[in-house]
Amino acid sequence: MSKIITEGLNKKTKDIDIVSTVKLVELINNEDKIVAKAVGKEKKKIAAAIDLIADKFSNGGHLLYFGAGTSGRLGVLDASECPPTFGVDEKMVQGFIAGGDTALRTAIEGAEDSSENAVTDLVKSEATSNDVVVAISASGNANYIISLLKNAKAKKIKTIGICCNKSAKMKDLSDIFICPIVKEEVITGSTRMKAGTAQKMVLNMLSTGAMVKIGKTYKNYMIDVKPTNEKLKNRAINIVSELANISKKDAAVALEQTAFDVKKAVAMLWFNTNLETAEKLLDDNNGVLRKIKY
């Protein structure tokens, strides 16, 4: 355990149980400040991972997250946000947690120690060499993760490892190894804190970066948003209004004509054309709005 930095004792927070509440908050906040810098040091590896994922997406591949405990929950969370944010099929980005969906709400004892469950989950994911497997783990040593990576590599699937322990076993099994060193946790071994925050930041970058690379945004606008509620409908109206430089009322009218498809509405308005022509423009450019009007 001495080699696993996330399990070490944080001397800066050793009196956290006797300080004032304001000081307690300050201690946690100061430790959290370490996280962004640690993630920033891994920017080249994160960029390489984004390019790999985007390339697989462009060829019909999938992004598959696997993890146990907090790490697994973070993967499932990131995957579940991709369809409403980027308008993609729910299978394009998937999250798997050791112990199954029950483990999302309830700790499943021993789930991270099961090599067999990793094999089962990989089979369930239907992963092929056209996909990318991302293994998430604070220590990078859990049997579930190691078994998963070994089996993925045997299937010639590209692997990305994310952890906060530079001596992790997963390192040698990952084609790209992303390891922000956030040091000892505020509460010894509570890796849902700094390690979890670091993992969340990296996952945000991986999915968002890859989606941007394949044209799921125009500038920084969420042009493939699925308007499944009033908030998202209003967001779609605002985007069309701003990109086409028209009133929100006119933007809403254009969106009604396209079943609230932002890209089609914008293309119609940019070129003052009908829906059929707008659809052809998008089809000819692989649905990338940037290619229509740079």
Of 7, 31, 90, 112, the active-site residue reads: 112
- The Cα 93–Cα 14 span in angstroms is 40
Q: Is 112 a catalytic residue?
A: yes
Based on the residue annotation, tell me whether 31 is a catalytic residue of this protein: no
Residues 6+ apart with CB under 8 A from 122: 66, 133, 148, 151, 152, 155
Q: Are 164 and 7 in contact (CB under 8 A)?
A: no
- Residue of 26, 31, 42, 81 with catalytic role: 81
- Residues marked active site are found at 81, 112
